[in-house]
């Protein structure tokens, strides 16, 4: 049995000032939470729903990737537990891949993107450089590699991985990101900068939202929890699905890595997203145009 109560039932024990300030939220989602004690799912607020993500089966080989981007939103500060100072955001990273998939309806190839990895960590500049150098050489999509490897063949004579490594390291063009790009250049690692201009985070998310609307964004299914995404992917997916503006999520660093990577993919590889009108819809629109022309106002003094 579930027992629940509301703020109204406890009115006699509350100050008038407190009660009046809470009661004004009646009929709102804040009211449902503060007045009735409901636990609301923050993803209900986002305009990109979790159901818009497509799930790649864990037992299905990964596709052949055409281009892979490692996207970074940087913060060069070691994590601090000093409650008297503000804790800096972590450095966030996500890895995205482009691949082609045939549309079963029209049998035409379409561009899709897949989330391959993501993480957040509080790293100083030396530690971040070390991690980027290590992870840029990882390969993704090794499905063509033999499952049984000949143990008698020395490592240097074995077949190389069939997967693809990172093609581009994308870093937001701001203070700490500029420092990272310069430091990686000293290590002979070239990167690309991303300049968001005057667009805020929500605008950037709106720009890439057609990828979800057209069902082009994938993440891999968990092996141990069928029907759900991998554990490491969940923080990123939650940020994307919960974000509705500044302050709506505890952190939004993985959101930034996502929008800048997907904007670049859209610019370089995707054409415009259009929905073909049916013949009936075109005929209805033509009839509406004709009716507007017939009823157009005429100048009575002309």
Residue 260 clears pLDDT 70, i.e. is over it: yes
In this structure, what token pair is assigned to residue 83? 């409650």
For the chain, domain boundaries: 15-42, 45-145+159-268
Residue 40 clears pLDDT 70, i.e. is over it: no
Contact 288, 234 (CB under 8 A): no
Which pLDDT belongs to residue 208? 94
- What's the whole-number mean pLDDT along residues 36-40? 56
What Rg do the C-alpha atoms of the chain give, in angstroms? Answer: 26
List 76's β-bridge partners, or say none.
123
> In which band, very low, low, confident or very high, does the pLDDT at 80 lie, cut at 50, 70 and 90?
very low
SS (H, E, C) the chain: CCCCCCHHHHHHHCCHHHHHHHHCCCCCHHHHHHCCCCCCCHHHCCCCCHHHCEEECCCCCCCCCCEEEEEEECCECCCCCCCCCCCCCCEEEEEEEEEEEECCCCCCEEEEEEEEEEEEECECHHHHHHHHHHHCCCCECCCCCCCCCCCCCCHHHCCCCCCECCCEEEEECCHHHHHHHHHHHHCCCCCEEECCCCCCHHHHHHHHCHHHHCCCEEEEECCCCCCCECHHHHHHHHHHHHCCCCCCCCCCHHHHHHHHHHHHHHHHCCCCCCCCCCHHHHHHHHHHHHHHHHCCCCCCCC
- Identify the weakest region by mean pLDDT among 173-182, 255-264, 293-302: 293-302
Q: Does domain 45-145+159-268 have CATH number 3.30.420.240?
A: yes
Residues whose CB falls within 8 Å of the CB of residue 68, separated by 6 or more in sequence, listed in order: 95, 96, 97, 98, 116, 140, 164, 165, 166, 167, 168
The CB density around residue 141, as the number of other CB atoms within 10 Å, is 20
- How many alpha carbons fall within 13 Å on the CB side of residue 47? 12
The CB density around residue 76, as the number of other CB atoms within 10 Å, is 19
Contact 230, 64 (CB under 8 A): no
Which tens digit of pLDDT belongs to each residue from 218-251?
A: 999 999 999 999 999 999 999 999 998 887 778 8
Contact 220, 56 (CB under 8 A): yes
- What's the whole-number mean pLDDT along residues 196-217? 92
- What's the whole-number mean pLDDT along residues 246-260? 89
Which pLDDT belongs to residue 16? 79
pTM for this model (two decimals):
0.71
Which tens digit of pLDDT belongs to each residue from 106-132?
A: 888 999 999 999 999 998 889 999 999
Strand pairing category for 168-172 and 192-194: parallel
- What's the whole-number mean pLDDT along residues 15-41? 61
Which tens digit of pLDDT belongs to each residue from 263-302?
A: 999 999 987 665 444 455 556 655 655 565 555 445 444 4
In this structure, what token pair is assigned to residue 88? 């800096």
Percent of the chain with pLDDT over 90: 46
Residue 155 clears pLDDT 60, i.e. is over it: no
> In which band, very low, low, confident or very high, does the pLDDT at 10 lie, cut at 50, 70 and 90?
confident
Residues 7, 34: Cα–Cα separation, whole Å: 8
């Amino acid at each position: 049995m579930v027992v629940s109560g509301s703020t109204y039932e406890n009115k006699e024990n509350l100050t008038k000032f407190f009660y009046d300030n809470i009661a004004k939220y009646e009929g709102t989602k804040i009211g449902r939470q503060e007045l009735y004690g409901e636990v609301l799912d923050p993803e209900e607020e986002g305009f990109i729903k979790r159901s818009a993500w497509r799930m790649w089966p864990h037992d299905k080989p990964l596709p052949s990737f055409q281009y892979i981007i490692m996207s970074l939103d940087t913060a060069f500060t070691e994590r601090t537990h000093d409650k008297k100072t503000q804790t800096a955001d972590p450095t966030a990273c996500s890895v995205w891949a482009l691949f082609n998939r045939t549309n079963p309806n029209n049998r035409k190839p379409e561009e899709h993107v897949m989330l391959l990895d993501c993480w957040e960590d509080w790293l100083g500049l030396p530690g971040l450089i070390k991690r980027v150098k290590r992870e840029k050489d990882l390969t993704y999509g090794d499905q063509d590699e033999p499952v049984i490897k000949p143990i008698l063949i020395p490592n240097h004579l074995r077949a190389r991985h069939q997967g693809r490594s990172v093609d581009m390291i994308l870093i937001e063009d701001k203070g700490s990101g500029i420092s990272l790009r310069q430091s990686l250049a000293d290590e002979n690692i070239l990167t690309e900068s991303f300049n968001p201009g005057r667009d805020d985070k929500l605008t950037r998310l709106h720009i890439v939202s057609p990828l979800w609307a057209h069902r082009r964004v994938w993440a891999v299914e968990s092996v141990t929890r069928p029907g759900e995404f991998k554990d490491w992917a969940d923080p990123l997916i939650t940020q994307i699905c919960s974000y509705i503006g500044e302050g709506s999520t505890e952190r939004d660093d993985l959101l930034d890595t996502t929008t800048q990577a997907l904007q670049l993919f859209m610019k370089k590889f995707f054409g415009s997203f259009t929905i073909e009108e049916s013949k009936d819809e075109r005929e209805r629109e033509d009839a509406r145009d004709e009716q507007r022309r017939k009823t157009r106002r005429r100048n009575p003094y002309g």
